[in-house]
Amino acid sequence: MMKILSVATALAVTSTTSGVCAFTAQSSVSAFMGMSNVGNRGIIALQASQNSPFEEKEDPMFDPLHLSSSSEHNKEVSFPAVVKVSAAALTMWSMGAAPSMAAGPDWGIFEGRSLSLLHPIMMGSMLIFSLYTALLGFNWRRQRTMGDDISALKKTLPSFSGSSLSEAISAAKAADTVDSALVSKLQAALPIESDIKALTAERKELSSQNNRERHWSQGSLLAFIGTTFAIEGPLNTYARAGKLFPGPHLYAGAGLVVLWAAAAACVPAMQKGSDTARSIHIGANVAGIGLFGWQVVSGFPILLKVLEKTSWP
């Protein structure tokens, strides 16, 4: 197809060039003939004045440019010649404009190294940010479920009087009649009491960290910034190369955005206490972090090629 277009263009240029040359030659001949007529008329007038010096005659019209024969000259310039000249100008314009049209738009700094490196830098930062957001989520989940664990441990403690097992053991030993079995039973429950105290202290510390609100706000920010730069990456590639390169990196990035959307969609059901929604939310985010890790592996060769093909800024 390209060869046919090239041949057609060459024929058009040849035809129009021939037309221009013919028009130029024809105009030159007409001008020369006009000047010849002017010369002949001048000679005739000179001879007439020599033959009759005392006879006053009207001089011929002085027309060195042969303007009086412009009507004849206009007749000589035929309509096909005008068409050929117009076609030649149009062809030359199209030949000059074609390369600039084929080159595509100039994206400026968007094609440079600065904005080309923005995608890998931001997505690498988002990987670390997503790991920290996941840690906040697990801390909130542990804080929420620790109440059940503490309640289950308290049910395994033997009945005793006092605020702690230590006080109960001291009271049992100080009784007039020491119940050795009760003392042994209370002493065996001391590790359980220690676990309860440790869990209670940990739960109190987690509550002071405000993990729930931080996890919610950082998850929303992760979904927004991550989706933005997941789209920015292909746009920057198109600005630099004029096309996209479908492959594992592009597909994994699209899948990552889908997983973020699925995790965010589970939040309303999670707020209503749905354990199924919580499981889907956690699974989607864990899979997303796995894809994020794969993005680092598949994106590193692309990063090296960007450094090779681009220049600052």
Per residue in 216-254, pLDDT tens?
Answer: 999 999 999 999 999 988 888 887 778 888 888 888 899
| Lookup: tokens for 263 | 């995790």
Average confidence (pLDDT) over 31-50: 42
- For residues 57, 59, 60, 65, the Cα torsion angle rounded to the nearest 10 degrees is 170
Which H helix or E strand runs over 117?
Answer: helix 113-155
Q: What is the SS3 assignment for 163?
A: coil
Q: Phi, psi (5° rounding) for residue 268?
A: -60, -40
Answer yes or no: is pLDDT of 286 > 60: yes
What are the tens digits of pLDDT across the range 176-226? 777 788 888 888 889 999 999 999 999 999 999 999 999 999 999 999 999
Pairwise CA distance, residues 86 & 71, whole Å = 22
Stated pTM of the model = 0.58
- For residues 179, 182, 185, 191, the Cα torsion angle rounded to the nearest 10 degrees is -100
Non-local (6+) Cβ contacts of 303 within 8 A are 117, 120
Q: How many CB atoms lie within 10 A of CB 140?
A: 20
Asked if residues 279 and 240 have their Cβ atoms less than 8 Å apart, the reply is no
Q: Who wins on pLDDT, 310 or 38?
A: 310
| Lookup: tokens for 54 | 């005392």
> What pLDDT score was predicted for residue 29?
34
DSSP conformational letter for 60 = P
> What pLDDT score was predicted for residue 260?
94
Domain layout of the chain by residue ranges? 2-103, 108-309
Select the highest-mean-pLDDT range: 54-63, 96-105, 142-151, 290-299: 142-151
Answer yes or no: is pLDDT of 175 > 90: no
| Residue length of the chain | 313
| Lookup: tokens for 118 | 């923005």
Answer yes or no: is pLDDT of 44 > 90: no
